[in-house]
């Protein structure tokens, strides 16, 4: 009997040990070989560095530890503790805007199915984001602020469970030991950072620091989390990353993971790692200085004084250059204000005067000595990108005057600190607040929305044709349309605008704009034109009439959705339900406006109307069927609609059924523009 019990105990012990053994995972990778991880999508290993994405737009890369790992104590829902650490870098490409981020993740399956690029980070897609059957736990290092995922900023670390809406997030950075101040880290500057992620007792801790630094004691994120429902019993673990039209390359240099030995994370080799920072422009160096040391005291002093003399001269020259620059600025740009004036107006930039936080910095309300209200935009000097954007903003907006553009009052450049722009104050905030974030009483009525769209069109028309140089806005969206006291629309935020001569082909290698409003050709080639503004305007029309953001989780894009409704003959369902509830819609007009939106957001730039044509159409011609002289609108649109591309651009919609179920072009054209006819002759340019 005793023997039996001893035997049983032994058996239990061995099974216990066996399960303990199989659930133990323990690895330390100081550099990668192809056998260390399995690669999916665009992930590659070169020189022992794991690169998740390459410089193709909309690339996804994923790397997973080759075998599943056990995540729970056998036959229980108790999640095993784990500790992982890795070193990553987000390498910027010269002259391109930052893209999207890296995610450390647990997934139930291999491969990249079910994930999209860009803002979905190669983690989820439109339909499965937020679905609890994903069984995904991730820690994101994201450099894009996505409003639909409620991202806190464009440089954050977040804890994600089955969704890109982070459960908890923080600005990237660390709390240095023994200090009470937070140190911000910029994720995508090419620098190498070490991350530690620990899970135990239903708490997940995330810590990061510049590579080489001892792990700070206080974690960046410390968040209570019960993973027992999230993780399956066995999971794959690894990294995923994605790019959009905005690109950088995502690299992992070393990685350790363990659920038994928690001291691995201190064994990552942090020295001698390559750097992915862009080379800085070299700073002037003073030569012939060191020679002085080897010679006698007299010579030393002489050399010193010569050097000092030279330095002072050089300094003076630099300062003179700066002054010259500012003289030139004064010649062209509007009134320069003193910092004191602006300080006084905004009560010393007090927090209570903050009326908004833009992509470039905070916006304050201010009162000038005369009593007129202004909006003061302030940008700090540390980001070169922002400065350049603002200089462009001054130089274009400052000289442009139109009743549908936000007027620039003045500006101020502080020697050290910040660049400040002073605009006319817009009493009624931005259009998106009147469409999306408001109660019934504040919501823009249908008539308001149509009038606002007309006014925006005339503002864009002025930008495109009203000035001696063609000005592209490049970032037309509802949050950039501001409303003045009389609810008149004024297009603002020319931070992304660049001047173009009428004759020159507008071109750029950098993609600027906002995801969801970017024309397909911008995403493909990075080139902007007046027709890409027309695309943005088309999306704006749809957004304002439908009361839906261009991109929303779990849904097709706005443009695709409206096309689909048009195809099914249910266009009116697209209209904002709150507007429909109010009733009194002019259905025919609504349909035409939506059709105009779709035409403007046509994938083929040549098929889009020009702003001239749009404004003409709005000048009373949308509601009235009044044939005019000149080219017939039907013929014009028939020509435009003949571009077959539209079918291939939206394959999900148009290639889904059998071809016989597709409406013919004739049907689409009839459906789109009915009997409306119109002359496309040029309009006169609106006043300055």
Ligand X SMILES: *[C@@H]1O[C@H](CO)[C@@H](O)[C@H](O)[C@H]1NC(C)=O
- Binding status of residue 564 toward ligand X by CB under 6 A: no
Q: Which of 22, 66, 177, 229 binds ligand X (CB under 6 A)?
A: 229
Among the listed residues 198, 424, 475, 576, the single catalytic one is 475
In the region spanning residues 3 to 62, those forming contacts with ligand X, defined by CB under 6 A, are 15, 19, 28, 41-42, 54-56, 59-60
Q: Which residues pair with 413 in a beta bridge?
A: 419
* Nearest-approach distance from CB 237 to ligand X, in angstroms: 17
Q: Cβ contacts of residue 298 below 8 Å, gap of 6+? A: none
- Binding status of residue 127 toward ligand X by CB under 6 A: yes
Residue 76 CB: number of other CB atoms within 10 A? 9
Q: Cβ contacts of residue 476 below 8 Å, gap of 6+? A: 456, 460, 491, 517, 533, 536, 537, 539, 540
- Binding status of residue 128 toward ligand X by CB under 6 A: yes
- Binding status of residue 98 toward ligand X by CB under 6 A: no
In the region spanning residues 280 to 319, those forming contacts with ligand X, defined by CB under 6 A, are none
- Binding status of residue 606 toward ligand X by CB under 6 A: no
* Nearest-approach distance from CB 218 to ligand X, in angstroms: 6
Please state, in angstroms and as integers, the Cα–Cα distance from residue 400 to each residue in 169, 333, 480, 612, following that order: 41, 10, 16, 18
* Nearest-approach distance from CB 138 to ligand X, in angstroms: 15
* Nearest-approach distance from CB 550 to ligand X, in angstroms: 16
Q: Which of 24, 27, 109, 131 binds ligand X (CB under 6 A)?
A: 131
Task: Give me the residue label for tokens 């709005």.
Answer: 618
Beta carbon nearer to ligand X, 84 or 346:
84
Q: Cβ contacts of residue 446 below 8 Å, gap of 6+? A: 579, 582, 584, 585, 590
Phi, psi of 130 (to 5 degrees): 90, 0
Beta carbon nearer to ligand X, 220 or 575:
220
Q: Under DSSP, is residue 485 helix (H, G, I), strand (E, B) or coil?
A: coil
DSSP secondary structure letter of residue 423: E
Beta carbon nearer to ligand X, 145 or 381:
145
Please state, in angstroms and as integers, the Cα–Cα distance from residue 356 to each residue in 23, 363, 385, following that order: 51, 5, 20
Q: Under DSSP, is residue 648 helix (H, G, I), strand (E, B) or coil?
A: helix
Strands in 314-404 per DSSP E: 354-357, 362-367, 373-380
Distance CA 371, CA 684 (A): 36
* Nearest-approach distance from CB 292 to ligand X, in angstroms: 50
- Binding status of residue 509 toward ligand X by CB under 6 A: no
576, 440 contact by CB (below 8 A):
no
- Binding status of residue 560 toward ligand X by CB under 6 A: no
Tokens for 195?
Answer: 């991350």
Beta carbon nearer to ligand X, 260 or 488:
260
Q: Which stretch binds ligand X (CB under 6 A): 263-271, 335-343, 386-394, 395-403?
A: 263-271
Beta carbon nearer to ligand X, 154 or 686:
154
Q: Which of 92, 99, 216, 219 binds ligand X (CB under 6 A)?
A: 219
- Asked if residue 145 belongs to a known ligand binding site, the reply is no
Q: Which stretch binds ligand X (CB under 6 A): 119-127, 427-435, 588-596, 598-606?
A: 119-127
- Binding status of residue 428 toward ligand X by CB under 6 A: no
Q: Cβ contacts of residue 172 below 8 Å, gap of 6+? A: 141, 155, 156, 157, 184, 185, 186, 187, 208, 220
- Binding status of residue 216 toward ligand X by CB under 6 A: no
- Binding status of residue 126 toward ligand X by CB under 6 A: yes
Distance, first Cα to last Cα, the chain? 104
- Binding status of residue 338 toward ligand X by CB under 6 A: no
Residue 461 CB: number of other CB atoms within 10 A? 23
Q: Which of 140, 142, 160, 198 binds ligand X (CB under 6 A)?
A: 198
- Binding status of residue 153 toward ligand X by CB under 6 A: no
Q: Cβ contacts of residue 602 below 8 Å, gap of 6+? A: 535, 538, 608, 640, 646
Beta carbon nearer to ligand X, 302 or 656:
656
Active site residue 198: no
Which parts of this chain interact with ligand X (CB under 6 A)? 15, 19, 28, 41-42, 54-56, 59-60, 74-75, 77, 113-114, 125-128, 131, 133, 168-169, 198-200, 202-203, 205, 218-219, 222-223, 226, 228-229, 261, 263-264, 267
For the annotated binding site for ATP, the residues are 377
Which residues are designated catalytic?
A: 475
């Amino acid at each position: 009997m005793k023997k039996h019990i001893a035997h049983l105990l032994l058996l239990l012990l061995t099974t216990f040990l066996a399960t303990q053994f199989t659930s133990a995972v323990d690895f330390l990778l100081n550099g990668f070989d192809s056998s260390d991880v399995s690669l999916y999508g665009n992930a590659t290993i070169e020189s022992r560095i794991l690169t998740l994405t390459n410089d193709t737009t909309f690339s996804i890369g994923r790397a997973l530890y080759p075998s599943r790992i056990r995540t729970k104590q056998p036959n229980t829902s108790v999640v095993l503790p784990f500790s992982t650490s890795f070193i990553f870098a987000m390498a910027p490409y010269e002259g391109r805007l930052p893209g999207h981020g890296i995610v450390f993740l647990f997934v139930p399956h291999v491969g990249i199915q079910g994930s999209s690029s860009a803002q979905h980070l190669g983690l989820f897609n439109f339909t499965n984001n937020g679905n609890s059957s994903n069984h995904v736990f991730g820690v994101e290092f994201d450099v894009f602020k996505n409003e639909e995922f409620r991202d806190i900023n464009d440089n954050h670390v977040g804890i994600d469970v089955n969704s890109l809406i982070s459960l908890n997030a923080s600005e990237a950075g660390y709390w240095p030991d023994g200090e009470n101040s937070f140190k911000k880290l910029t994720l995508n500057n090419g620098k190498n950072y070490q991350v530690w992620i620990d899970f135990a007792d239903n708490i997940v801790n995330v810590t990061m620091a510049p590579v080489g630094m001892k792990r700070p004691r206080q974690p960046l994120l410390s968040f209570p989390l019960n993973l027992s429902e999230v993780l399956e019993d066995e999971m794959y673990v690894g990294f995923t990353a994605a790019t959009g039209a905005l690109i950088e390359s995502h690299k992992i240099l070393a990685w350790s993971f363990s659920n038994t030995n928690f001291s691995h994370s201190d064994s990552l080799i942090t020295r001698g790692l390559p750097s992915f920072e862009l080379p800085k422009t070299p700073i002037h160096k003073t030569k012939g200085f060191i020679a002085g040391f080897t010679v006698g005291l007299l010579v030393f002093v002489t050399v010193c004084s010569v050097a000092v003399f030279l330095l002072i001269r050089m300094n003076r020259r630099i300062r003179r250059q700066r002054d010259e620059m500012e003289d030139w600025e004064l010649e062209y740009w509007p009134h320069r204000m003193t910092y004191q004036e602006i300080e006084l107006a905004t009560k010393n930039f007090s927090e209570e005067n903050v009326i908004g936080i833009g992509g470039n910095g905070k916006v304050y309300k201010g009162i000038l000595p005369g009593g007129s209200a202004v909006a003061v935009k302030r940008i700090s000097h540390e980001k070169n990108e922002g400065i350049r954007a603002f200089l462009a903003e001054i130089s274009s907006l400052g000289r442009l005057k139109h009743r549908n553009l936000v007027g620039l009052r003045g500006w101020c450049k502080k020697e050290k600190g910040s660049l400040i722009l002073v605009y006319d104050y817009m009493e009624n905030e931005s259009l998106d607040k009147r469409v999306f974030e408001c109660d019934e009483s504040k919501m823009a009525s249908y008539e308001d929305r149509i009038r606002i769209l007309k006014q925006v069109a005339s503002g864009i028309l002025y930008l495109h044709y009203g000035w001696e140089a063609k000005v592209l806005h490049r970032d037309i969206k509802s949050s950039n349309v501001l409303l003045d006291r009389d609810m008149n629309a004024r297009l603002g935020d020319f931070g992304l605008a660049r001047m173009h001569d009428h004759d020159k082909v507008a071109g750029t290698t950098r993609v600027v704009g906002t995801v969801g409003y970017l024309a397909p050709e911008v995403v493909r080639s990075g080139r902007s034109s007046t027709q890409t503004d027309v695309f943005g305007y088309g999306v704006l029309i749809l957004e304002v009439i439908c009361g839906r953001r261009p991109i929303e989780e779990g849904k097709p894009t706005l443009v695709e959705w409206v096309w689909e409704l048009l195809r099914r003959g249910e266009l009116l369902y697209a209209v904002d339900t709150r507007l429909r509830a109010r009733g009194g819609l002019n259905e025919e007009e609504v349909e035409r406006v939506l059709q105009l939106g779709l035409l403007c957001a046509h994938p083929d730039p040549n098929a889009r109307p020009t702003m001239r044509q749009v404004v003409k159409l709005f000048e009373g011609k949308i509601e009235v069927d009044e044939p005019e002289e000149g080219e017939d609108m039907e013929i014009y649109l028939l020509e435009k609609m003949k571009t077959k591309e539209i079918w291939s651009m939206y394959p999900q919609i148009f290639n889904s059924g059998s071809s016989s179920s597709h409406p013919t072009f004739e049907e689409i054209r009839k459906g789109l523009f009915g009997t409306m006819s119109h002359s496309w002759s040029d309009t006169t340019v609106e006043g300055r």
